[in-house]
């Protein structure tokens, strides 16, 4: 099983990384412990490829070269979400 499937937010963190809702207990913009395999934000503009939210400066975020790795991580996040639901 990939290590990133076991990722859990820090104790006391009220931010739901799967939905993007809640309050973070730290002052980091992004979780510093988030495995790179679960990072779905464009490194250039921070467009979220799971929620499809953000202000991408490019015409089509789904084809932008900067977001290729983040787009490739979307199936990982979906698998991680399923594992969270199944595991409780």
Low-confidence ranges of the chain (pLDDT < 70): 18, 87-88
Q: Which residues contact 27 (CB under 8 A, 6 or more apart)?
A: none
* Domain assignment of residue 48, given as a range: 1-88
* pLDDT in the model for residue 43: 93
As given in the structure block, the two tokens for residue 87 are: 């595991």
* pLDDT in the model for residue 16: 78
* pLDDT in the model for residue 14: 86
* pLDDT in the model for residue 87: 66
Number of independent structural domains in the chain: 1
* pLDDT in the model for residue 8: 85
Distance set, CA 75 to CA 11, 14, 26, 67, 79 (Å): 25, 24, 27, 14, 6
């Amino acid at each position: 099983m990939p290590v990133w499937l076991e990722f859990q937010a820090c104790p006391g963190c009220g931010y739901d990384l799967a939905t993007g809702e809640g309050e973070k207990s730290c002052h980091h913009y992004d979780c510093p412990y988030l495995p790179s395999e679960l990072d779905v934000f464009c490194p250039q503009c921070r467009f979220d490829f799971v929620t499809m939210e953000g202000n991408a400066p490019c015409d089509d975020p789904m084809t932008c070269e900067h977001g290729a790795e983040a787009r490739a991580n979307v199936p990982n996040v979906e698998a991680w979400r399923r594992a969270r639901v199944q595991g409780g």
